[in-house]
Amino acid sequence: MKQTRLLKRFLPYFRPYWKTLALDLICAALTTLCEIVLPMLVRYIAQVGIDDVSLLTAELILKVAAVYLVLRVVDVTAQYFMSNVGHVMGAKIETDMRSALFAHMEKLSFHYFAETKVGQLMARITSDLFDVTEFAHHCPEEFFIAGLKLIVSFVILCTINIPLSLIIFAIVPVMAVVCGKFNHKMRATFARNRKQVGEVNAQVEDSLLGIRVVKSFTGEQREIEKFERGNQDWLDIKRENYRYMGAFNATTRAFDGLMYIAVIVGGGLFMMNGQITPADLMAFLLYVTTLLSTIRRIVEFTEQFQRGMTGIERFFEVMDEIPDIENPENALKPEKITGNITFTDVSFSYKDDPDTAVLSHLDLDIKAGQSVALVGPSGGGKTTVCNLIPRFYDVTAGSVKIDGIDVREIDLDTLRGNIGIVQQDVYLFSGTIYENIAYGRPNATENEIIDAAKKAGAHEFIMSTPNGYHTYVGERGVRLSGGQKQRLSIARVFLKDPPLLILDEATSALDNQSEHIVQQSLERLSEGRTVLTIAHRLTTIKNADKIVVLTENGICEQGTHEELLNKHGIYFELYNI
């Protein structure tokens, strides 16, 4: 994105803090005033001494010192405000952006997360926004000070000697053009640097989360070598970045010398011809020093500026991602969902592979209160069917309806609030057992949470842990066995108590005893509710009201357990296997 467009999009984040920004710029103007006045005071004393040294009294010097002392007090006060309140303003803007980014990420669809590394997203929400604090504070401040100094200095110097002022200031635009080219190259390397940070984060996350696999396959050295390659690439990018930065700094130093030479040569010639006084030349040198110190500050800020711009650009890249699944306008919020589900001529394919149909012209009718099982070989689209009901993905063609209403017309919170899901891949949040079960219904009482755990067959093992329901499960539930994690995830759904249940291999990680307990609980919970079960262990779905055999060719068979066995078809073969 162009810098002007990025800055234009970034400006609205200043709106809540415009009063603080205004005061910050006023303070910046006061500090600039103090710097600009000093050369004039020195020029005044020097001129008095040159004209008549007897007029240079102690009283006059003390008066000039008193004026400068007052200005310094103002300068110190203004500088404190800028360093303190100004930085807090920048931190608040960074916080607002991070909140907005995380909220937007939460709205993005499954497809986006399937295509994007979590490490890259972590880099964007953390390190990419770290520099925004400094950028948001210093960017308006530094450029305001620089502009003010250039304009005021130019006006003052023109009152002393116009030709010499024009000579000096003619160098500034040339310097700006040359430095601008290096700036562009620096920004490109900063962008690559940020991307590589994300890659390193992703590699570290991948390796550490899979540390059990790494150690079981003695893959430590391979992981170290992979990390070293990414780390070395990061170093190479930094080398290139610092090369451009070095050239940038050397160029500005060269222009520094050029401006001093212009003042010395031009000023000397003008003074030789009587067009300026020694005091004027002294003032010119002091103003040039002031200008160069400002340019150096801008140069030093350039790195921070480019880091900030890169972070802002990467921020907007994510913010510009449009969720595949959005709430419809005038979304319907049915007071009660009974659970009639109808698939009508449903086709589905993923966006990145539109030519490969996962589902093709599927028709399926599930009555409210029915227990329906989806079985069949892997890759037949069983999980996809379940994902279309809560709109984790939208159909490519056809429609999915609940109680006669297309799911695309129902409010997402209402839709998903009436669906309970136990996924094959169990995820527990870092926290306590109690907190993980309560995720199903945050306002539930302790008795309700315990009751849900009992229904899931989890209460007994929970009470055997060191702190019972307040036992810390570790990151992703690492301290629990697979069966224990599965039972906690089932307890979450029991607590939610929705009218429609989706069980994706819900009992796959349980031992025989736990499976029996949970199966009995599921049968009790299924009464009066719609249950859709994906199962490979066919003994768990023998009592389903309807079993649907789904393959790559669509629905091949459907009926009860006994009916399908009597057909001696695909289900019969699967059951015998």
| pLDDT at site 511 | 67
| pLDDT at site 246 | 81
Across the chain, what does the average pLDDT equal?
Answer: 83
On whether both 452 and 570 belong to a single domain, the answer is: yes
Closest CA to 373 of 554, 556, 531: 531
Distance CA 190, CA 167 (A): 35
User: What would the mean pLDDT of 327-355 be, rounded to a whole number?
Assistant: 87
User: What would the mean pLDDT of 510-536 be, rounded to a whole number?
Assistant: 74
Q: 355: helix, coil or strand?
A: coil
Q: State the DSSP H helix or E strand holding residue 444, giving kind and residue range, or none if neither.
A: none
| pLDDT at site 543 | 83
On whether both 83 and 148 belong to a single domain, the answer is: yes
On whether both 308 and 373 belong to a single domain, the answer is: no
**Residue-wise pLDDT tens digits, 410-419:** 998 899 889 8
- Residue 179 belongs to some domain of the structure: yes
Distance CA 343, CA 6 (A): 45
On whether both 284 and 350 belong to a single domain, the answer is: no
Q: State the DSSP H helix or E strand holding residue 374, giving kind and residue range, or none if neither.
A: strand 371-375
Beta strands across the sheet bearing 371-375: 419-422, 500-504, 530-534, 371-375, 546-551, 554-559
User: What would the mean pLDDT of 369-379 be, rounded to a whole number?
Assistant: 86
**Residue-wise pLDDT tens digits, 5-14:** 888 889 899 9
Distance CA 531, CA 39 (A): 83
On whether both 479 and 349 belong to a single domain, the answer is: yes
pLDDT-based confidence at residue 191 (cuts at 50, 70, 90): confident
| pLDDT at site 279 | 80
Q: Specify the length of the chain in residues.
A: 577
Classify residue 33 as exposed, middle or buried by CB count within 10 Å of its CB (0-12, 13-18, 19+): middle
Q: 396: helix, coil or strand?
A: coil
The CATH number covering residue 565 comes to 3.40.50.300
Q: Is the pLDDT at 409 greater than 90, yes or no?
A: yes
On whether both 130 and 55 belong to a single domain, the answer is: yes
| pLDDT at site 1 | 66
DSSP state of 332: B
Q: Is the pLDDT at 235 greater than 80, yes or no?
A: yes
Secondary structure, 3-state, 249-273: HHHHHHHHHHHHHHHHHHHHHHHHC
If phi > 0 it is left, if psi is from -120 to 50 it is alpha, else beta; for residue 398 that is left
Distance CA 120, CA 128 (A): 10
Two structure tokens written together for 291: 């200008």
Q: Where are the alpha helices (DSSP H) in 409-503?
A: 412-417, 433-438, 446-455, 459-463, 482-496
Percent of the chain at pLDDT > 70 equals 93
pLDDT-based confidence at residue 86 (cuts at 50, 70, 90): confident
* Cα separation of the two ends of the chain: 58
- Cα–Cα distances in angstroms (integers) from residue 465 to residues 368, 460, 478, in the given order: 39, 9, 14
On whether both 389 and 423 belong to a single domain, the answer is: yes
How many structural domains compose the chain? 2
Q: 361: helix, coil or strand?
A: strand
On whether both 277 and 375 belong to a single domain, the answer is: no
| pLDDT at site 345 | 92
Is residue 360 a contact partner of residue 379, using CB atoms and an 8 Å limit?
A: no
Is residue 316 a contact partner of residue 6, using CB atoms and an 8 Å limit?
A: yes
Amino acid at 253: R
Distance CA 436, CA 469 (A): 10
- Residue 41 belongs to some domain of the structure: yes
On whether both 444 and 523 belong to a single domain, the answer is: yes
The CATH number covering residue 214 comes to 1.20.1560.10
On whether both 284 and 431 belong to a single domain, the answer is: no
| pLDDT at site 119 | 75
On whether both 203 and 121 belong to a single domain, the answer is: yes
Is residue 107 a contact partner of residue 323, using CB atoms and an 8 Å limit?
A: yes
Distance CA 288, CA 264 (A): 11
User: From the centroid of its chain, how far is CA 351?
Assistant: 23
Q: Is the pLDDT at 571 greater than 90, yes or no?
A: no
On whether both 48 and 89 belong to a single domain, the answer is: yes
Alpha-carbon torsion, ordered 114, 119, 124, 125, to 10 deg: 100
The parent domain of residue 534 ranges over 341-576
- Residue 300 belongs to some domain of the structure: yes
CB atoms within 10 A of CB 539: 10
| Helices 3-10 + 278-319 axis angle, to 10 | 80
- Residue 533 belongs to some domain of the structure: yes
pLDDT-based confidence at residue 508 (cuts at 50, 70, 90): low
